[in-house]
A and B are shown apart, each in its own frame.
Chain A
Amino acid sequence: MYESPLRRPLITGKTSYAKITDDIVTPIEAAPTKWWYLGFAISVAALGLWLLAVGYLLFTGVGVWGLNKTVDWGWDITNFVWWVGIGHAGTLISAVLLLFRQKWRTAVNRSAEAMTIFAVICAGTYPLLHAGRPWVIYWVFPLPNTYGSLWANFNSPLLWDVFAISTYFTVSLVFWYVGLIPDLATIRDRAKGLRKTIYNALSFGWNGSAKAWQRFETVSLILAGLATPLVLSVHTIVSMDFATSVIPGWHTTIFPPYFVAGAVFSGFAMVLTLLIIMRKVMRLEEYITIYHIDVMNKIILVTGSIVGSAYITEFFMAWYSAVPFERYAFMNRMFGPYWWAYWAMMTCNVITPQLFWSQKIRRNITAVFIISIFVNIGMWFERFVIIVTSLHRDYLPSSWAMYSPTWVEISMFIGSLGLFFTLFFLFAKFLPVIAIAEVKSIVKTSAEQEIAKTAEAEGIDLKEVHPQIA
């Protein structure tokens, strides 16, 4: 298990297996802090707003939204795509980085996956409600049709989307829970009374035997192998909802890779927004180090640059195609009535991530937090620009229209943030936010104390190699 001391430590400070368990399980056993109550109360209040807006929507109909005959996708689909995008980092971290044997993944995968699952739940609410009559949503499944013999249309990207999102949600949830089982057993074996009963039921009788670990590792590896193409397929299929249409601005072959890169970009931004707060509030700085934040920022820089190149490529292709409608659609994005959305998107997504070329900024927590918020906002505007500005001026100028959201749409957006954070606060209170067993498995190679030992044995001056920790 040799690891070069030139590699950066992933667990700082003096550590031990028992200390890792204590650090991560104690917040679950202790009473919630007043910050938790405050955050949870705000989230639940926002969730209440969501229930109010959705209740009104269901009793009245989708006419309460600001949509019209020309702009028939608005904030609903914008928010859907935004949330699905956010839900891309978790499975990417846990699956792709597992296949690449990236050890830094162990500290962030659990919370990132939880975030993925909650984001996909939020995303799912939008098409469900946009369908108009959610009580018959089972019609999207290929059920034996008793109302006639017509089956669901498998030629439609919208139906592919149903399968992609529901598969992604199910597989992410299963992957997450399989990884949770050993850690739930750790909580169980420390607990007494009611908590023991609950965690006993949740941990499925996990015993930590060599055979169980062998199977666990096999299952994790295969699930990672399955989830890797899956995570790429989800936003590819979401992009096909647009790309297979004949709307100028949507009808582009660049959409699948561009959407996937954008999704990873926004997903990592949301992971950073949450983890920067969480590591501070829950005192996890020894596990989620500056180095972890640094590498995630590099991923943001790469994917952000891909997104930026995609924006420019789209413009070039619109000009190069010589199609007047296509050219007009893109000029309208830049200088039309929604110019502010376009320039907000360009500033947040193309310019801000480029700041991460500087290591100083990548390691400045405040700067990273602010930039991550900018990216979240920018990616929301990207979806708004693609959807609304492409639709609002269609082929027939007499049907050109403007769109603005009503209070119902705004409340549903704030409310879906409430739903997301309610779930996240519950997760942070009742489940281990860091994969305990996985972090323990990297102690021997990547803990600061072990690296110091190897460095000493090899006669390497640790202060020189890692000035920030020595």
Chain B
Amino acid sequence: MPPKPQNFKNPIIWFFVSLVVLWAAPLFLPTFYIYLITEILIVSLFAVSTNVLLGFTGLLSFGQVAFFGSSAYAVSLLIKGTSLPFAASFFLSVGISTLAALIIGLFCMRLRGFYFAILTLAFSQIFFVVVYKWTSLTGGDDGIVGIPKKPFLFFDINGADAYYHFVMFVVMVSLALLYLIIRSPLGEVLQAIRDNSERTEFLGLQVRNYRLASFVIAGTFGGVAGALFAPFQGIVTPELLHWSHSAEPLMISLLGGMYFFFGPIAGAVIFVFIKEWITGFTEYWMFWYGLLLMLLIMYLPGGIMGFVSEHLKRGKDDSR
């Protein structure tokens, strides 16, 4: 049974404090860490958006790369192939993800559990095949290389620090929006569906439509993450759309705690640092990551946040 989400106090203050701290980070951190934090921010947004489905609606989608990847490809093609300003390319690409999520979502809503997971996976693999095979448009196996960081509106975002500030701003706004959605009546209904969909249906709510809304929200913000990712890496390849890549945000949510809004963010921090740390002395970091996840599912299915909050609660009970 998922724990009751604890409303955390003064979210607005926290939002501005983290905004200021993150904004100032390049002043005291070397470029390498700025690069890492940029990656963490993008991965966090992808994971939090996926977790809207996994943790807050109770739907396991193995196809989220379809939205991340289609927007990453769309933004790359628009930047390289047209003279549109970056802001227009950016929002157009996110729009493509939203549309894709709406269309795929309409099909997927009739299934649950394992079958839903495989259906979303199959749809995302069709995206993969199209990108992989449509060589004249997408460059096929070689992907699209040399994606420049064009100015966003009046802001020059070329360079590690400048692009970091851009990513930070977009991710923070997106996370704030997602937080508001999860705390809104819509978010409450989604969590009710997760806990007991029949009972929610009996209340007269159209479970199907709410699930679809959740799917479109997840796809849209996955698309935002994808559109940020392409210029960050400067390259997109079909591998980005392969189904095994869909597991990444799921694993990160699980690692951090999928019943917590901030779980996937904690998970993303740990994931990126583990990757950097273990790759320092072995290239076989996936083994250790897999082992960690296996042990986590066996002993701490609530993830890191679940473990921490349980201990905090226990501490409080003891002191009473």
Q: Do A and B come from one complex?
A: no
Residues of B near any A CB (own CB < 8 A): none
